[in-house]
Amino acid sequence: MRRVRYESAGGPLFLEETPVPEPGPGEVLVRCEAVGVTLPVVRKITEAAEPVPLGGEIAGEVAAVGADVTRFRPGDRVTGLCFGHGYADFAVLHEAMASPVPEGAGAVDAVALVRSGLVALGALAAAHPEPGESVLVTAAAGGVGHLAVQLARVRGAGRVVGAVSGPAKADFVRSLGADEVALYTDGSWGEPVDCALDAVGGDLLTPALAALSPGGRLVAYSSGGGTIQAYDLLVGAKSVIGFQMARIARDRPGLYEQWRQELWRLFEEGRIRPVVHAEFALPDAAKAHEAIMSRGNLGKVVLRP
């Protein structure tokens, strides 16, 4: 089978031929039909001290199952987060991280909706907005952010603000249901909000926190790091909440499944729509990464093995 990897930090991506992996206990082997490209994985190429497997969201058909697997069998269609080599014709997925794809749904829809949607829904739940409260979403045009904007609206936010890197994304974010669009470079992001969902981190944490009204909640779920001054929390009685999807999948499988079902229901009802910016063939993985790093994508970037 084909697999994408690299040999040194910041090094070029290349295709290699390698044997199809065998699923271990509690694992399923998936014939990949779609692979979601995410900023955290793209960042690893330059930030990790040693080369790491290019994992991420995958969707496809179960080709084989390992010992102790009870929920799936060959022929089932699944999607989920792969922590090993996911940029490949076949990938291994732990059963706990796998979710069934409903009949009639495509692999691209699944990889664009489920993982990114789960993160968006989980971050929103962590913020715990009351009906009518205002919600700010950073990276609002990205794979997670564009779903977070829609979910905030569906779940009863009174005002939704999308923060983006450039004006070219404004119309797209408004088309998702945002009432307002702010640029990262703006001196102010408008009237204060009750909740902020931050997918960027780094230098953006401070303005995201500043955008909160007194008592507001900032949910940080990015891999971008960043520092917040304790005084900035104290003076406005604000709070910061860290959110990690893998912890929910591992420790609260019932909630994970509840959110997954909610996403598919909203999708089938036409109340949320995953948007795919571009699809790339497996040999063009480097171009997919460029689309992410340029911050020009509107929606999800997908590889199609």
CATH of residue 186's domain is 3.40.50.720
Assess if residue 126 is contained within a domain: yes
Assess if residue 147 is contained within a domain: yes
Task: Pick the more confident residue, 45 or 304.
Answer: 304
Q: Are 120 and 87 within one domain?
A: no
The whole-number pLDDT of residue 229 equals 84
Helix (H, G, I), strand (E, B) or coil at 208: helix
Assess if residue 6 is contained within a domain: yes
- Out of 245, 265, 296, a domain closes at 245
Asked if pLDDT for residue 231 goes beyond 90, the answer is: no
CA 302 to chain CA centroid, Å, is 12
User: Once rounded to an integer, what is the mean pLDDT over residues 87-114?
Assistant: 92
The whole-number pLDDT of residue 305 equals 93
The whole-number pLDDT of residue 91 equals 98
100 backbone dihedrals φ, ψ, rounded to 5°: -70, 145
What tens digit of pLDDT does each residue of 9-39 get?
A: 888 999 999 999 999 999 999 999 999 998 8
What tens digit of pLDDT does each residue of 174-195 get?
A: 999 999 999 999 988 999 999 9
DSSP secondary structure of 59-102: EEEEEEE-TT--S--TT-EEEEEESS--SBSEEEEEGGGEEEPP
The whole-number pLDDT of residue 37 equals 93
Burial 60-97 (b: 16+ CB within 10 A, else e): bbbbbbbeebeebeeeebbbbbbeebbbbbbbbbbbeb
Asked if pLDDT for residue 272 goes beyond 90, the answer is: yes
Assess if residue 211 is contained within a domain: yes
Percent of the chain whose pLDDT exceeds 70: 100
Assess if residue 58 is contained within a domain: yes
The three-point CA angle 218-137-37 to 5° equals 110
Q: Are 30 and 132 within one domain?
A: no
The three-point CA angle 129-131-134 to 5° equals 60
Q: Are 130 and 215 within one domain?
A: yes
Residues 61, 76: contact at Cβ < 8 Å? yes
Q: Are 148 and 33 within one domain?
A: no
Lowest-pLDDT choice from 43-47, 87-91, 92-96, 205-209: 43-47
Q: Are 127 and 29 within one domain?
A: no
The whole-number pLDDT of residue 226 equals 83
Distance separating alpha carbons of residues 211 and 192, to the nearest angstrom:
5
What residues pair up with 300 in beta bridges, in sequence order? 276
- Out of 245, 260, 289, a domain closes at 245
Mean pLDDT score of the chain, rounded to an integer? 93
CATH code for position 78: 3.90.180.10
The whole-number pLDDT of residue 94 equals 92
Q: Are 97 and 121 within one domain?
A: no
Q: Are 84 and 128 within one domain?
A: no
Distance separating alpha carbons of residues 257 and 143, to the nearest angstrom:
20
Lowest-pLDDT choice from 35-44, 46-55, 221-230, 280-289: 221-230
Q: Are 199 and 233 within one domain?
A: yes
What Cα–Cα distance (Å) separates residue 135 from each residue in 103, 241, 301? 33, 15, 25
DSSP secondary structure of 122-179: HHHHHH-PPTT-EEEEESTTSTTHHHHHHHHHHTT-SEEEEEESSGGGHHHHHHTT-S
Q: How confident is the model at residue 61 (pLDDT cuts 50, 70, 90)?
A: very high
The whole-number pLDDT of residue 46 equals 83
Give the pair of three-digit tokens for residue 31: 């014939």
Q: How confident is the model at residue 97 (pLDDT cuts 50, 70, 90)?
A: confident
Assess if residue 263 is contained within a domain: no
Assess if residue 111 is contained within a domain: no
Q: Are 92 and 125 within one domain?
A: no
The whole-number pLDDT of residue 224 equals 74
pTM confidence score: 0.88
The whole-number pLDDT of residue 201 equals 87
Burial 261-295 (b: 16+ CB within 10 A, else e): ebbbebbeeeebbbbbbbebebebbeebbebbeeb
Residues 278, 297: contact at Cβ < 8 Å? yes
Q: Are 39 and 72 within one domain?
A: yes
Q: Are 151 and 70 within one domain?
A: no
Domain span at residue 76 reads: 2-101+275-304
Task: Pick the more confident residue, 239 or 226.
Answer: 239
Q: Are 153 and 228 within one domain?
A: yes
Distance separating alpha carbons of residues 221 and 38, to the nearest angstrom:
13
Query: How many domains does the structure of the chain reveal?
Result: 2
What tens digit of pLDDT does each residue of 144-168 get?
A: 999 999 999 999 999 999 999 999 9
Assess if residue 253 is contained within a domain: no
- Out of 245, 261, 283, a domain closes at 245
Q: Who contacts 235 (Cβ-Cβ below 8 Å, separation ≥6)?
A: none
Lowest-pLDDT choice from 5-14, 75-84, 192-201, 225-234: 225-234
